Amino acid sequence: MKRHEALQPFSRDHNVGLVLARRLSRADAEDPPGLKSLAQEVTAYWRGEMQDHFAEEERLLSPLASPESAQRLQREHAAISELLQRGEERLDAGELSTLGQLLDEHIRWEERGLFVEIEKNATPQQLQDLALATSLVEGKRARSPWAPRRGELMKRKQ
Ligand SMILES: [Fe+2]
Ligand SMILES: [Fe+2]
């Protein structure tokens, strides 16, 4: 089924998150300068966009989700944020690859579980209100401090 337009701005963030997650999950193969730049990149992304993505998902999607899904959303965001809050200089190869795995699994659950649940259970009015709210989120992405790096990351996909 095609993703509802109200959720598409979050799904577009997920495309970026998945590329980053793939690179993080291969952190073991990086040399020290490569690890340093990976840690810097993911921390900058978290500060510039991911933190806001998490906050907006919790604000906008928790009220439309089952209590179990709302709890899982919050729990997984907290686990990922906890690692990132340590700061880039304290993320080693093991933590970076754990981060990649957590991020990948979290995004896949949202796309295949949470978003499908919301599309099925939300009323047309709720989806309409959500579409308006997520279009504002997308506007923020265009102006985010991290935006210039997005194109660069997507070009270097592999
Ligand atoms: Fe999320
Ligand atoms: Fe998400």
| Number of compact structural domains in the chain | 1
> pLDDT tens-digit profile of 69-117?
999 999 999 999 999 998 888 899 999 999 999 999 999 999 999 999 9
Which ligand approaches the C-alpha of residue 7 most closely? 2
Environment of ion ligand 2 (residues, CB < 5 A)? 110
Which ligand approaches the C-alpha of residue 115 most closely? 2
Query: How far, in Å, is the centroid of ligand 2 from the Cα of 109?
Result: 9
Query: How far, in Å, is the centroid of ligand 2 from the Cα of 125?
Result: 22
Q: Is residue 130 part of a domain?
A: yes
pTM across the whole model: 0.94
Q: Is residue 81 part of a domain?
A: yes
Q: Is residue 113 part of a domain?
A: yes
Q: Is residue 156 part of a domain?
A: no
Q: Is residue 119 part of a domain?
A: yes
Q: How many helices (H) and strands (E) does the chain have?
A: 8, 0
Which ligand approaches the C-alpha of residue 12 most closely? 2
Q: Where are the beta strands (DSSP E) in 13-128?
A: none
- Alpha-carbon gap, residue 103 to 85, rounded angstroms: 15
Tokens of 81: 């944020």
Query: How far, in Å, is the centroid of ligand 1 from the Cα of 30?
Result: 27
Which ligand approaches the C-alpha of residue 75 most closely? 1
Q: Is residue 153 part of a domain?
A: no
Q: Is residue 106 part of a domain?
A: yes
> pLDDT tens-digit profile of 15-58?
999 999 999 999 999 999 999 999 999 999 999 999 999 999 99
Q: Is residue 152 part of a domain?
A: no
Tokens of 23: 């690179």
The residue range of the domain holding 78 is 8-141
